[in-house]
Amino acid sequence: MIAKTLQDMFRRYRRPGDIVFATMFFVFSLFLLSQLGTETQVVKRTKWFAQPALWPTIAIWGMVVFSGLHLLSSFLSPRIPGRLREITFWLKSLEYVVYFLIYVVAVPWLGYLPSTMLFAALLTVRLGFRLPGAFCIALVFGAVVAILFRALLQVNIPAGRIYEYLPDGLRAFALTYL
Amino acid sequence: MDNLISGFAILAQWQVIVALIIGSVGGVIIGALPGVGAAVAIAILLPATFAFEPIVGLTLLLGIYGSSMYGGAIPAILINTPGTAVNALTTYDGYPMTKRGEGHRALSLAYSASFFGGIFSILCLIVLSPVLAWVAPHFGSREIFLAALMGVLLVILAHRGQTFSAAMLAFFGIFLNTVGLEPVKYTRRFTFDQTWLSSGVDLIVVVLGLFAISQALLLLVDKEHAPGEAHVRGNIFTGLKELLGLKRIATVSSSLGVLMGMVPGTGEFTSQFLSYTYAQKTSKDPDAFGKGSPEGLVASEAANNAVPGAAMIPLLALGIPGEALTAMMLSVFYVHNVIPGPQLFAEQMDFVMALYMALILLNVVVLIFLLFSTNLLLKLIQIPTRFLGIMILTLSFVGVYSLRNSITDCAIAAGFGVVGLILKRLNLPIVPIILGMVLGGIMEVKLRSAMARVKSPLDFIDRPIAAILFVMILGIILLHIRSLIQEHKDRVKPQPVLDEDTTQQG
């Protein structure tokens, strides 16, 4: 009877992989709770509302309580099969995160224009767009983005170190606009 | 009157006009592309706007915010794919109309209802301005604290059926805001002795990760979605006439949009739900709803387009953002040292007026643009979704890296990108994290300054506005408990299963 009432109260729509995320978040919240004493300080001669530890304490206890309830509701809700497929989907995204971080590291060395053109073009190939037209569109897109943001909008992106090796006239131009 | 003229002078600068046109037209295009949406575009463009004057940057972002829903209606009506998440309800009646050969009529009505909703909300904003200018200075620290607390509470409770997840994510947002060097006592909080955590977690990095990078990853990993082809013929603006016959629905829906837009944490979805329910209950033909009812379409589009204007009210008057997009705009104010809140109305009313006029103009620009471009936009949405993913990921880099040229920021944003992808796949809400971060910061600062001036906790609510806000908070909690009990009683009856199995995009 109690189990039935609990199930009625907490049942919700639950997608594949829900319980994995709910568990991970709950464990993460418990980890933060275990660190509360060492990662925050209680300052002497300071009232409770001005204590640096006040808001992290409220936030982490809130995370623990509600992620616990979220996990409980995940347990009590009907499961839809496909957990492994869903987690594989999440993990597949890491491949593109790696490409993105390589691009981030490459920009200060290769410069914004060349690395953006390369990044867009290589990702196009990786995604299976094999026609030369698609490759060219990606190159043009990369060039337009780089010129728009660095040359026209003067967004704060450093010049590539490789530009130092360019001939005199081109070097100054590349350092400023590309 | 002086403020009006001065506001007009601000708006007449060529940079502002260019920003308005680019923002409005860009917003329609972005809105029409399924899988992009205003949040992604604003997140990407946000750091770029820091280099502009505040009015230029805000006009650009407002243009995107206010016009994306116009664009989102096009694929929603013609190919049953909402361009932005808030156009999902538009598919219910828009697409059935297209199927029976009334696509042109549906689009025309949607544009007209959107225009009506947009203009209606701005007029409300203008009418309310003197009241806001009068009320806003009465908001001290304790009132702003209570308003922010109410915002957190509402953003949690507005996610019906997801209250626990919304709460845990809102608290996660509050936690994220506390990480780093605490500014008053200079103690470290959750830095784990890592120097890169000392400066805290930047809101824009989190926003870009959760909204833009996550969307890029989702599009890159997911299989290609090819939208169907469509074409419309005829004058798109015949719907303006038809709207006159539905003015009651349009007015009530726009009013609900304004009301919900003003309340922090609620926004488009609640206003659409309320206005659609109202339209159905008062209709002579309620059975037609969901099967191509013009009334349903008008209710959905008028309500969602009335929200952007109204969402500016708590932002401008109190400095409290009601949802994620205005939270992003708040950072534009802060970067330029323009602090939204009571002082803004007192000292920079011309700036506020310029923003109002920009909002009106953007609706006009969008309407003119749509007159010529609907079929062109239908061609644009044929861009392969995975290529869109490449575009968003490439543009996300500019947003994160240009902040402070930090590779660590990019790595953090990528991490939040994966978190955002998981949340979207699980249909869990992202907005509570962002509002938790923003409102958590406001609550911490305001509680500290408010409590320093009160002797007992009861003094905290001894001023009229504070007392009203406190009663409202209690009322919201009690109403929620009551609705939970009611739901529990209703649960014994079998309920029809709604189609919830859609990945959150845009």
A31 near B CB under 8 A: no
CB nearest B192 (choices: A39, A63, A145)? A39
Residues forming a β-bridge with B74: none
Q: Are B47 and A97 an interchain contact pair (Cβ–Cβ within 8 Å)? A: no
Q: Report pLDDT for A108.
A: 94
Q: Are B174 and A153 an interchain contact pair (Cβ–Cβ within 8 Å)? A: no
Q: Which residues are within 8 A (CB) of B472 and not within 5 positions of it... i.e. 6 or more apart?
A: B150
Please report which confidence band the pLDDT of residue B302 belongs to, taking 50, 70 and 90 as the band edges.
Answer: very high
Q: Are A12 and B448 an interchain contact pair (Cβ–Cβ within 8 Å)? A: no
Mean per-residue pLDDT, B380-400: 88
Is the dihedral angle over the CA atoms B410, B411, B412, B414 positive or is it negative? positive
How far apart are the C-alpha atoms of B143 and A118, rounded to whole Å? Answer: 53
Residues forming a β-bridge with B188: B181
A152 near B CB under 8 A: no
Last-in-domain residue among A81, A103, A133: A81
Q: Report pLDDT for B265.
A: 67
How far apart are the C-alpha atoms of B446 and B451, rounded to whole Å? Answer: 8
CB nearest B174 (choices: A17, A55, A145)? A55
Q: Select, from the ranges A150-159, B17-26, B311-320, B321-330, the one with the highest average predicted confidence (pLDDT).
A: B17-26
Query: Distance (Å) from the C-alpha of residue B437 to the closest C-alpha of chain A?
Result: 11
Query: Three-state DSSP class for A46?
Result: coil
- Is the residue at A113 inside a domain? yes
Structure tokens of B466? 């504070």
A136 near B CB under 8 A: no
Same domain, A116 and A54: no
Q: Are B390 and A138 an interchain contact pair (Cβ–Cβ within 8 Å)? A: yes
Q: Report pLDDT for B499.
A: 46
Q: Label residue B178 exposed, middle or buried (CB < 10 Å: 0-12, 13-18, 19+).
A: buried
Structure tokens of A52? 């640096």
Smallest CA–CA distance from B44 into chain A, residue: A149
Q: Select, from the ranges A94-103, B303-312, B321-330, B390-399, the one with the highest average predicted confidence (pLDDT).
A: A94-103
Which has the minimum average pLDDT: B163-167, B302-306, B407-411? B302-306
Same domain, A73 and A100: no
Same domain, A60 and A99: no
Q: Select, from the ranges A86-100, A153-167, B311-325, the one with the highest average predicted confidence (pLDDT).
A: A86-100
Scanning the structure block, which residue is given the tokens 């949802």?
Answer: B323
Q: Report pLDDT for A57.
A: 96
CB nearest A62 (choices: B167, B217, B403)? B167
Query: Distance (Å) from the C-alpha of residue B100 to the closest C-alpha of chain A?
Result: 33
| Closest listed residue to residue B173, CA positions, set B156, B192, B196, B197 | B156
Please report which confidence band the pLDDT of residue B492 belongs to, taking 50, 70 and 90 as the band edges.
Answer: low
Q: Enumerate long-range contacts of A138-141, CB under 8 Å, 24 or more apart.
A: A138/B387, A138/B390, A141/B390, A141/B391, A141/B394
Which has the minimum average pLDDT: A3-7, B35-39, B352-356, B423-427? A3-7
Scanning the structure block, which residue is given the tokens 């040292």?
Answer: B337
Q: Are B397 and A155 an interchain contact pair (Cβ–Cβ within 8 Å)? A: no
Same domain, A61 and A110: no
Same domain, A67 and A113: no
Question: In B, which residues are within 8 Å of A94 by CB distance?
Answer: 418
DSSP per-residue codes, A10-41? H-----TTHHHHHHHHHHHHHHHHHHHHHHS-
Same domain, A95 and A54: no
Whether pLDDT at A43 is above 80? yes
Q: In this structure, how many other beta carbons lie within 10 angstroms of the beta carbon of residue B291?
A: 14
Q: Report pLDDT for B498.
A: 46
Question: In A, which residues are within 8 Å of B406 by CB distance?
Answer: none
Asked if residue B71 lies in contact with residue B119, where contact means CB atoms within 8 angstroms, the answer is no
Whether pLDDT at B355 is above 90? no
A76 near B CB under 8 A: no
Chain B (93-112) residues lying within 8 Å, Cβ to Cβ, of chain A: none
Whether pLDDT at A106 is above 90? yes
Residues found in chain B? 506
C-alpha triplet A46, A52, A53: angle, nearest 5°: 110
Structure tokens of B298? 């008008």
Please report which confidence band the pLDDT of residue B228 belongs to, taking 50, 70 and 90 as the band edges.
Answer: low
Query: Distance (Å) from the C-alpha of residue A178 to the closest C-alpha of chain B?
Result: 13
Last-in-domain residue among A50, A81, A112: A81
How far apart are the C-alpha atoms of B31 and B506, rounded to whole Å? Answer: 8
Residues forming a β-bridge with B180: B189
Q: Which domain holds residue A151?
A: 91-177
How far apart are the C-alpha atoms of A115 and B311, rounded to whole Å? Answer: 39
Please report which confidence band the pLDDT of residue B506 belongs to, taking 50, 70 and 90 as the band edges.
Answer: very low
Whether pLDDT at B501 is above 60? no
Structure tokens of B84? 């932005």
pLDDT, averaged across chain B: 85
The ipTM, to two decimals, is: 0.94
Query: Distance (Å) from the C-alpha of residue A171 to the closest C-alpha of chain B?
Result: 21
Smallest CA–CA distance from B440 into chain A, residue: A55
The runs of H, that is alpha helices, within B226-323 are 239-245, 247-262, 268-282, 294-318
Asked if residue B333 lies in contact with residue B125, where contact means CB atoms within 8 angstroms, the answer is no
Reported as a single tens digit per residue, the pLDDT across B92-107 is: 898 898 888 888 888 8
DSSP per-residue codes, B428-466? --SHHHHHHHHHHHHHHHHHHHHHTT-SSGGGGG-SHHH
Chain A (85-124) residues lying within 8 Å, Cβ to Cβ, of chain B: 86, 89-90, 92-94, 96-97, 100-101, 103-105, 107-108, 116, 119-120, 123-124
- Higher pLDDT: B320 or B495? It is B320
Same domain, A75 and A99: no
Mean per-residue pLDDT, B311-315: 85
- Is the residue at A86 inside a domain? no
Whether pLDDT at B503 is above 50? no
Structure tokens of B179? 């990480």
Mean per-residue pLDDT, B132-154: 87
Question: In A, which residues are within 8 Å of B48 by CB distance?
Answer: 149, 153, 155
Q: Which residues are within 8 A (CB) of B14 and not within 5 positions of it... i.e. 6 or more apart?
A: none
Asked if residue B279 lies in contact with residue B256, where contact means CB atoms within 8 angstroms, the answer is no
Instruction: Name residue B214's amino acid.
Output: S
- Is the residue at A58 inside a domain? yes
Whether pLDDT at B196 is above 80? yes
How far apart are the C-alpha atoms of B35 and B392, rounded to whole Å? Answer: 10
Asked if residue A15 lies in contact with residue A79, where contact means CB atoms within 8 angstroms, the answer is no
Reported as a single tens digit per residue, the pLDDT across A62-88 is: 999 999 999 999 998 888 888 999 999
- Is the residue at A72 inside a domain? yes
H or E segment at B340? none
Q: Are B426 and A21 an interchain contact pair (Cβ–Cβ within 8 Å)? A: yes
CB nearest B491 (choices: A8, A53, A67)? A8
- Is the residue at A56 inside a domain? yes
Question: In A, which residues are within 8 Å of B390 by CB distance?
Answer: 120, 123-124, 127, 138, 141
Whether pLDDT at B287 is above 60? yes
Q: Which residues are within 8 A (CB) of B397 and not within 5 positions of it... i.e. 6 or more apart?
A: A100, A103, A104, A107, A116, B410
Asked if residue B208 lies in contact with residue B48, where contact means CB atoms within 8 angstroms, the answer is no
B137-174 burial, b if ≥16 CB within 10 A, otherwise e?
eebbbbbbbbbbbbbbbbbbbbbeebbbbbbbbbbbbb
Mean per-residue pLDDT, B208-231: 83
Q: Return the percentage of chain B with pLDDT > 90, whole number.
A: 29
CB nearest B165 (choices: A50, A60, A70)? A70
Q: Report pLDDT for B65.
A: 86
Q: Are A53 and B165 an interchain contact pair (Cβ–Cβ within 8 Å)? A: no
Scanning the structure block, which residue is given the tokens 């909703």?
Answer: B117
Query: Distance (Å) from the C-alpha of residue A59 to the closest C-alpha of chain B?
Result: 5
Same domain, A76 and A119: no
How far apart are the C-alpha atoms of B113 and B94, rounded to whole Å? Answer: 13
| Closest listed residue to residue A21, CA positions, set A89, A97, A95 | A89
Q: Report pLDDT for B100.
A: 83
Residues found in chain A? 178
C-alpha triplet B63, B69, B73: angle, nearest 5°: 140
Q: Are B164 and A73 an interchain contact pair (Cβ–Cβ within 8 Å)? A: yes
CB pairs under 8 A between A and B: 195
Whether pLDDT at A150 is above 70? yes
Smallest CA–CA distance from A152 into chain B, residue: B48
Q: Report pLDDT for B431.
A: 87
Reported as a single tens digit per residue, the pLDDT across A11-24 is: 777 789 999 999 99
B406-429 burial, b if ≥16 CB within 10 A, otherwise e?
beebbbbbbebbbbbbbbbbbbbb
The answer for B13, left when phi > 0, alpha when psi is -120 to 50, beta otherwise, is beta
Asked if residue A89 lies in contact with residue B219, where contact means CB atoms within 8 angstroms, the answer is no
- Is the residue at A100 inside a domain? yes
How far apart are the C-alpha atoms of B213 and B394, rounded to whole Å? Answer: 9
Please report which confidence band the pLDDT of residue B495 belongs to, taking 50, 70 and 90 as the band edges.
Answer: low
How many domains is chain A partitioned into structurally?
Answer: 2
Same domain, A55 and A21: yes
Last-in-domain residue among A81, A111, A130: A81
Scanning the structure block, which residue is given the tokens 């049942």?
Answer: A11
- Is the residue at A166 inside a domain? yes
Instruction: Name residue B377's amino acid.
Output: L
Which has the minimum average pLDDT: A13-22, A137-146, B347-356? B347-356
Whether pLDDT at B505 is above 80? no
- Is the residue at A115 inside a domain? yes
The strand pair at B188-189 and B180-181 is best described as antiparallel
CB nearest A94 (choices: B171, B418, B452)? B418
Same domain, A7 and A51: yes
Q: Report pLDDT for B229.
A: 65
Instruction: Name residue B130's amino acid.
Output: P
Same domain, A130 and A169: yes
In chain A, count H helices and then E strands. Answer: 7, 0
Same domain, A52 and A122: no
Q: Report pLDDT for B266.
A: 67
Asked if residue B194 lies in contact with residue B200, where contact means CB atoms within 8 angstroms, the answer is no
Query: Distance (Å) from the C-alpha of residue B103 to the closest C-alpha of chain A?
Result: 32
Q: Report pLDDT for A29.
A: 97
Q: Are B185 and A32 an interchain contact pair (Cβ–Cβ within 8 Å)? A: no
Q: Label residue B464 exposed, middle or buried (CB < 10 Å: 0-12, 13-18, 19+).
A: exposed
Chain B (360-399) residues lying within 8 Å, Cβ to Cβ, of chain A: 384, 386-387, 389-391, 393-398
